[in-house]
Structure formats: C-alpha cells, structure tokens
Structure 1
Amino acid sequence: MLFMRKVITLLSAATAIAVLGGATAVGAEPGAGGLGPDSVLADTGQGTLAWSSCEDPDTPALQCAMLDVPVDYSKPRGRKIKIKLNRLPATAPKEKRQGPILLNPGGPGNSGLWMPAYIAGQVPADVASTYDWIGFDPRGTNGSEPHVVCDAHYFDAERPDYQVSQGTAKAWLKKAAGYASDCAAEWSWLLPHMTTVDNARDLDSIRRALGEPKINFYGGSWGTTLGSTYGQLFPSRVRRMVLDSIVGPTITWYEHNKLQDKEHQRRFDAFAAWTAKADSVYHLGTDPAAVKRAYDQVEAALRTDPVDAAPAPGKIGPAEFEDTFYGGGYNFLRWPRMATVISAYVTQHDTRPLAIAYNRYAAPGEDDGSFPAYNAVQCTENAWPRDWEYWKKDQAEVNAVAPFYTYNNMWYNAACMFWPYEGNRAGRLKITGKGLPPVLLFQSTEDGATPYEGGLAMREALPSAKLVVQDGGSFHEILFHGNACLDDTFTAYLRDGTLPSGKGRIAKTCAPTAEPTPVYVTPPPAGKTAGAADAAPLSPTDPEAVRGTLR
C-alpha cells in the first residue's frame, strides 16, 4: 500500500536505532553483564536542582525545578533533556522526616505535577509533614523539555468509525502508519530512549540530585511498572513503595490490551445493570439488554447524523461517542452522566448532554498529549504483531465476547503495528523483587484498565509484598477516593512501615465504594450554552476524572 511506503523506509533506517534502544534498556557499564540489582553507571550525567517557588496561589509552599538528564544513559555526557519537577517540602522536625516520596499517576506519560499537593492533602497532617512530596513530568512529556508532539491533530473530530464492520480499517491503518512515520521523522533521536527503564533511571537521577540515599515511591497504573522496574534496578535505594492498580510484570502490552477489552466489557455490563435498576430516572428499560440496545441505537444514529461538538471543534460521530463512554470503566462516578447522555438522546433527541460529556471526558487538547510517550513505551518494550491479517483475526475473536471496547482499544494501539523501533522479543525487564524491602500493593478485582490478574502476578513476583484487594469495581487507581479501608492501610504504611498482617497471597480485603446514586444530570435550558463547569475538561483531582489512563 502506498501509505506504508514511508514507514517501511523508516523501519529500514531505524534498524540500528532499534538495537540502540535495546542497549539503552540495558544501560549498564561496559562489562557489567546487563541489568542487575543496583546496576548503575559510574556517572549518570544528571544536573542539579535549583528550586524556586511555583507561584501557585493555592499551594504557596510548592517549589519547582528542572533537571538535566542524559537522553541515553549509556552516554551520560551526551545530549541532555530536561525533567520538570515540583515538590511540597516536609515541615516536620528534621529528626522525624522520612525523605522524598516520588509520585507517578501512570499513562504512560501523564503529568505528576498535580500529585504532591493533592495526595499530601489526602493523608493526615502528621504523616504528610514527614515527607518531601515530589511530582514530575516524565521525559518528553508535558512541561519537561522537549515536549514531544508527533501529530497535534491526531485526535481531532470526526475520526473514522472504530468498528471494522463499517469499512474504515484502511482509513485507520493509514492513520496509524502516518502517526508512526510522523513520530520518527522528528523524534528518532529520543523515541528509542523513552522506555520504562529510561524513566526508571530518571527516577534515580532525581534521587541523586536530591542528595538522598533512598527514595519512597507511589505509582498507579503504568506507574506500577515504573516503580517495580526501579525496584529491580535499584533495590537498595528503595525505602518504601506503594503500587496501586497493577500491570502484570510479565504480560506483553498486546496481550494486556486483550485482557483490558474483556474487563471493560464487564464494567460496561455493570453500568447497564446499574442503569436498568434506575429505570424511573433514565427510562431506558429494566433489562440491562435494553440499555445496551439504547447505547447501540445512539451510536448507529451518529453514523448518519453526527452531533456538533461545540465548544470543541468538529462533530461527535461513533468514535467520539465511544471515547466518551469508555472512561466509565475507570471511574463509576461517570455513570450518571453517561446514562443521562443515552436517555436524553433516545427519549427526547436532546444532544446537549452528549456534547457536554464529550467535552468533559474525550475532547482532545491542543496537541496529542501523552500519546507519543504512550507509544514510545508500549511499542518499543515488546515485539508487536506486524501483520494486519493477524490483528484482524485475533481481535475479531476478542470482539466476539467483548464488543464494547475491543476495536476502540485496537485502533488506539495500532501505531505499534508500524512503530519504527521494534520491541525487545524478550519482553520487559524481569521483576524478581530481590533485595527489595516490603512493598504495599493495591488492586481491585474489577479494574478495567489493569485487570486483577496483574495484581496477583505482581504479588507472586515480589516476595516481600503485601497485597490489598478491593473486592468489586469502582475506580482505576483505588486510593484517595474516600475508602477508609484502603486509605488507612496506605497511611499506616507511610507513617511507620506497618503492613497488613494477613498471610498468603492476599493480605487484606476491602469492600468497594458504594455505587453512585442515579440522578439525571440536567443540561442547561435549550438555547443556552453549557457553563464552564459543565463543558470544561476535568482536572486530575475532579471526582469524575480518570487518572492513570493506561489503555
């Protein structure tokens, strides 16, 4: 196909870079024998930290800094990039301070700069005051320099229909191949060096620049991969570590996506059942199957009559509709608004709730956000199938049992089919937990983004770990949503290292948060535009927000 020609050329040109990517993942001194506990270059080449006020009116104590780190840790005196950091300093007496706690919300590529003020505020003051809370933007993302942009308009509406039955596969293949080509055209010098291992070495550069012998760490979603990778590389430099909503340590990213599809189907089934129980509110029927038929009815209508996305540009077609809904598998506080969208459209042909929900949940930002980092991590760390015929057959089998999310997720990841830096066939860094102190793990049994199997697998990989399980679904990243059983366990560990006393694979079980109350989210009166609170995108601290957006 003509549209593949440019990518194929880049693939040929990138062979040496792909090999270099493997060397970067090793990142050890010559003769060091590859990765091992505390493998480290004699000189990481990182810069120093000069903290100054972030000028944040809500958190005046918040300080900001930029840190130089090498693009390639095997060449520490080579080209540098900058990592943006902030910190909320400890205020306890020096003898009670417990050092820095580095924070990552996942992504891969999501900003962590919101986390110090927010998470410190979720913890009792006598504990929060003993830590330096450190947020950062991972390399190549957000406020770090450079901020990688491959195609600023990749997510613009209206996008091709996700469903292959609609004849859009060629359009999506061309779009995904073009994205991989655009990334390589400008960023070939950085993309092979944006793996989880590279990011983990950045964590250690931050530790060095802070002048600390050890760090504490909290990570959610992909942040659990980042944290466990850091712990494997530098176990003696970990003081305490918390992993929330866990990616299994051995599964490939391609197979992980298939697990996600099945779990997101379960969460959509749960939403349909919840909506059916609230027929007096939403009037979509008392049978979950009727709710699903109403969802399909709206999507089918949008194929021929897309909705104005204002204030976002473009139209809301079936792809934008699906993007608006999949986040319900991450955060069930979205369910009332989601049910309202379907109810308003089906019972009144009112499209305003859909436009509002799209703007809050799915409308793109000014560029492609963390998507370059997402691809740079996932496409590079494993070998992906390169044959569309394989994808088509394999994904059809998944779609047969999980039609809600499969093709949405497939096209989101399709650039990996063409990525010019082919992944390591050995997979990601093997996690053994050797030398790590006790680690605290949190996992929900019904997490759509990081399925339950991942939490169990990480517990098996980390002999020192204690696993806390939420029995049921609610949020992706289950801490800091008001569940005292979970949050108090986190606090006790941060306070003095106390861990759940239970033995065996699961040390403690917590009940899920109660399901949201069904309410009809009334839109503004006809003829009036939505207010800022209705249409504005969510901040990471909004109750309806999705934080660790691993897909």
Structure 2
Amino acid sequence: MAAAVVAASVLPAGAAAPAEGEVRVPVRYAHQRLDWRPCGDGSPLECAWMAVPRDWHHPDAGPDLTVAVSRHRATGPGGRRGVLMTAAGGPGASGLDRPAGLVKGEPGLSAAYDVVGFDQRGVGRSTRPVCQTDEEFRELFAHDFRDRSPAAVRGVLRRSRALARDCAARGGGLPPYLTTEQTVRDMDLFRALLGVRKISYYGPSYATMIGAYYATLFPRRVERMVLDSNVGWAGSWEEFETGQPKSFQRRFERDFLPWLAKYDAVYHYGRTAREAKARWEARRRALAEHPVTVGEALVGPNQLDNGTIRALYNAEEGFPALASALVALDSGDDARPDGRQAAEKLFGSYLSPAFLAEFFSVTCGDTAWNRDLDTWLERSARDSSALPLAGARELAFASVCAYWPSGPAPKVRVTGAGLPTTLMLASVHDPATHYEAAVKDHRALRGSRLVTVAGGDHGQFHDGNACVDGIVTTYLLTGRAPARDTTCPAVPLPAPEAASGK
C-alpha cells in the first residue's frame, strides 16, 4: 500500500537533529505529515501510513517501505500528558489495533495519553515479504517432530532449508532489513512525526525487546516504559529460544495437567497429573499412526503439540478450551458439536507463512546463530526426549536460522544507561517468555523494577490481576514505580462449568 503522507511546512519536534543512535533522518522522511483517517471496520482508531527507508544505515540504497500506524486520541485533552506508544509481540503479530485494547477499561490512561501503535515493518498492513504459499507452509508441520529416524530428520532439515531459501528468493530483498534495530528507528521517526520529544511505552512479549532496544538507542526520548513478559533481549535469540522447551514443559506439567486432574469429574481425563499426561501421550501416539479430521482440520501429532502450546499462554481462555478439545478427540464421532468446534479451532491453525516470514527474519537476523547442524541434531535429540512439547520442534526452528543468510543487523547491548526507572513484569511459569530470561534482563537494565507474578500466564497487564494493573496504571499516570522489586499473587486458575467434549 502506498504511503499516505503529505509534505509538512514545519519540521516535527526532534526530527531535524541527528538521532541518538547516530543515524541522521533524511529530510524526505522527516518532512512527512501523517494523514490520519478512520481505520475502518468499526475501529475506534485513526490510521495513517509513513514512508521509511528500507535500510536506515543506507537510506538511498533501496526502495522505501510503508509502515502503518494508528492512534487513539486522549479523551481528556485538558489533562493530556503525552504519547503512550505500544507494539505487538511475535515477532510477527500485528500492533495496529493494540491502542484500542490498551485503553479498554482504563479511563485514566485513555484520558491522559494519545495511545499509538503500528504494524512493524514486515507485518500486517505495512510492507511485508511473501516467502511461502499456505500449502508449502503447512508441509512444515505436516509430520511428527518427535520422529528421529534418519529419513524424518532429513525431511525436517530439507523443509527448514526450503523456508530459508524461499525467504531469500521470494522476499523482495526485505528479510535482511526486518530486524528489531531497524524497527526502533521507524519508531523514532513516528515519534518525531507526532511532534513530541519523548514517549512513554508499553510492550508485551517480543515488544519488550523493541522497547529495550529503543531505550538503548534513544534513552533521552523515553519518559516511562513498561516491559511485560520479557524475551531474553539481554542475550541472543538462540540463548532465549533454547530455554523455551523447559518453560513450555514446566507450564504443561506443573499447571495444566494438575488443573486437568483436579477437574476429573468434569473432563474424565485422569485423577492425577501423571494419569492425565499418560492419556495425552497415548492420544499423541494414536494421532501419529492415524491422524483424524475434525471439521476442516487434519489433526496429527504436531497439531496436538501446537494446540497444547497455544492453550498454555492464558489459563482462563486456554485451559478449558484445551480440555474440551482433548475430550472431543477421544470421543470421536460422539463428541458434542461445541467440543468439536473447540478442537477444530485449537488444533486447526498455528502461526502462518506471513507470521513466520517476520518471525525468522527477526530471530535469525538480530543476533548470531550457531550454524553447526551437528550441534542442533544433538541438542534437539536431548530436548525432544526430555522436554518434548516444544523440544520436539527445536530442530525445525533452529535449523531455519542455521540456513538463514547472515544479515547486517548490529548487536544492540542493553544497559539502561540514561533511562528513568523502567517497570518490568514477569510470571514464574510463563511458557513463552521464561522467567529466567526476565531475571537476566532485569539485571542488565540498570535501575529497573521487576514485578514478579506468582502464576503462569503470558502477559500480565490486563490479565485480571488487580495488583499488577494497579502498579502499572499508577506508574504510567504518575511516574511512581515500586521502591524495590515486588511480587503480586497469581490470578486463580479457572473453574470449568461443564465439559464440552461429549
């Protein structure tokens, strides 16, 4: 989509000076004016588009990219205190609608801030690459990642190599420039075009890395910052992602399976966590031999893994849905319609070729990866055996990065130098952004305050936790952070009304 920008007669605040990250903003970008219009489809937001260079370090070396941006205007202009920027996780998720969710139920934030968001380069309504068709992408998950036979392993490597090759060949030259460092320079142009010298920021999941990198490159542009469920930006993507098999298995075995056993009278899936796990494993073995069709979804062993992984992110939404879907799989043709719908929804979709084009561009391009396949074959064999839920797919994901062409992204070392107090949130059983990474991030970000949640959901703000919500809103509205690291109790796990499987 072409950028809807208009030349401005007055330079936006801060746009003329060289960026703190030592990259000058060319005049043709700094002199844009955002042409705000309704986003459409009943959205309460306004949208616009801005042009950015493909490569901020060589702005004349390639075609411009378009970045879609959005805003929710402050409802109390008399008390308006500034701009609160937010971004999406993934990498690969859309952030354009995030301002609407952030202000929902938060009249104080809605009144005090213009809340703005964006689809980062490579995502959603911004310029994005096309790497594979839906059919090619489905092949990536069409088999059984636990199968370690020579033929199966060769197949995993072949499909991962094809994905890396297809992104390089079909991506329009974009993947090397879809990095976190390039994204935060887009952010700072957005800030300048909004006419403000500083922003506050809220970012969950991968957006914590976006925020941490922005704060490192532009510390004097930051007023307040909340980083929720932190990826391991203090280290490398390789280090962070090799910690995920442990955290997903921990969430599955210590939270979901005991919860499922507690409600055996509802789901009849086992009276103990061990019994429930044995039944889940039996179902997986059966699907490996004979995949089943539920609605339009073909469910095999990888689809069972994928749906289970998805359900672990949020207990309130995910645990009952997964339990009902498991019952429906066991019930076969006798499953109730709502149970079959739950199974089709949970096991029938996982990620997308568009999502993974951005995901691998960022995770393979931001930081260096070990490209020795023997190392990954050995490690993935161990993790597939000991931590199989996410460990089984480790070889497929890591080998994409092992085959990925080396990119130009500079390593950004986060220290917290020059920043105001930053608020960090993390839960001890978060499956996707493990607590160990958050602790390491906290140590790297000098002057930060860590709020630990004694639970397991991914994403703490607006998760029904009054303790967390109170700390975050107080901080964003007044600047007051806890005097020291603190802990909030967990949100109670949900109690199901009835099984919907049979």
TM-score normalised over the length of structure 1: 0.81
Q: Does 1:186 align with 2:164?
A: no
In structure 1, the gaps of 5 or more residues are 1-31, 526-551
The residue type equivalent to 2:224 in the other structure is R
2:362 — aligned with what?
A: 377
1:510 — aligned with what?
A: 488
Counterparts of 2:364 and 2:296, CA distance in 1: 33
> Are the equivalent residues in 1 in contact too, given 2:228–2:459 (CA < 8 A)?
yes
The CA deviation at 1:344 is: 3.5
1:266 — aligned with what?
A: 250
The CA deviation at 1:347 is: 5.7
State the secondary structure of the residue aligned to 2:322.
helix
Q: Aligned to 1:493, which of 475, 480, 495? A: 475
Kindly tell me the number of residue pairs found equivalent between the two proteins: 476
The CA deviation at 1:311 is: 3.3
Q: Does 1:447 align with 2:424?
A: no
Q: Does 1:234 align with 2:218?
A: yes
Counterparts of 1:409 and 1:389, CA distance in 2: 13
2:301 — aligned with what?
A: 318
1:119 — aligned with what?
A: 102
1:201 — aligned with what?
A: 185
> Are the equivalent residues in 2 in contact too, given 1:152–1:367 (CA < 8 A)?
no
> Are the equivalent residues in 2 in contact too, given 1:83–1:138 (CA < 8 A)?
yes
Q: Does 1:135 align with 2:117?
A: yes
The CA deviation at 1:518 is: 3.2
State the secondary structure of the residue aligned to 2:464.
coil
Counterparts of 2:268 and 2:331, CA distance in 1: 8
- 1:395-474, aligned counterparts within 5 Å? 395-421=380-406, 428-473=411-456
Q: Aligned to 1:284, which of 257, 261, 269? A: 269
Counterparts of 1:149 and 1:414, CA distance in 2: 20
CA offset digits 1:456-502 (Å, max 9, x no partner) = 122212222111110121x211110111000111110111111112x
The CA deviation at 1:285 is: 2.1
State the secondary structure of the residue aligned to 1:165.
coil
The residue type equivalent to 2:248 in the other structure is H
Larger CA deviation: 434-443 vs 154-163: 154-163
Larger CA deviation: 377-386 vs 200-209: 377-386
The CA deviation at 1:38 is: 4.2
Larger CA deviation: 379-388 vs 179-188: 379-388
Counterparts of 2:215 and 2:392, CA distance in 1: 35
> Are the equivalent residues in 1 in contact too, given 2:37–2:48 (CA < 8 A)?
yes
Counterparts of 1:248 and 1:268, CA distance in 2: 21
Q: Does 1:391 align with 2:396?
A: no
The residue type equivalent to 2:492 in the other structure is A
User: Relative to structure 1, is the Cα distance of residues 87 and 395 closer, same or farther in structure 2, using a 3 angstrom cutoff?
Assistant: same
> Are the equivalent residues in 2 in contact too, given 1:156–1:364 (CA < 8 A)?
no
1:14 — aligned with what?
A: none
The CA deviation at 1:45 is: 4.7
The residue type equivalent to 2:276 in the other structure is V
Q: Aligned to 1:152, which of 130, 133, 157? A: 133
The residue type equivalent to 2:452 in the other structure is V
CA offset digits 1:426-483 (Å, max 9, x no partner) = x84111111111111111111111111222122212222111110121x211110111
CA offset digits 1:18-37 (Å, max 9, x no partner) = xxxxxxxxxxxxxx9xxx95
> Are the equivalent residues in 2 in contact too, given 1:207–1:215 (CA < 8 A)?
yes
CA offset digits 1:57-78 (Å, max 9, x no partner) = 252xx21101100001122345
> Are the equivalent residues in 1 in contact too, given 2:312–2:319 (CA < 8 A)?
no
Q: Does 1:102 align with 2:80?
A: no
The CA deviation at 1:187 is: 2.2
Counterparts of 1:442 and 1:74, CA distance in 2: 33
1:28 — aligned with what?
A: none
> Are the equivalent residues in 2 in contact too, given 1:337–1:520 (CA < 8 A)?
no
State the secondary structure of the residue aligned to 2:133.
coil
> Are the equivalent residues in 2 in contact too, given 1:320–1:358 (CA < 8 A)?
no
Q: Does 1:360 align with 2:345?
A: yes
TM-score normalised over the length of structure 2: 0.89
State the secondary structure of the residue aligned to 1:308.
strand
The residue type equivalent to 2:147 in the other structure is V
Counterparts of 2:330 and 2:191, CA distance in 1: 55
In structure 2, the gaps of 5 or more residues are 1-17
> Are the equivalent residues in 2 in contact too, given 1:336–1:520 (CA < 8 A)?
no
Counterparts of 1:457 and 1:212, CA distance in 2: 32
Percent of pairs identical after alignment? 32
Q: Aligned to 1:172, which of 152, 156, 162? A: 156
Q: Does 1:295 align with 2:280?
A: yes
User: Relative to structure 1, is the Cα distance of residues 69 and 205 closer, same or farther in structure 2, using a 3 angstrom cutoff?
Assistant: same
The residue type equivalent to 2:295 in the other structure is A
1:213 — aligned with what?
A: 197
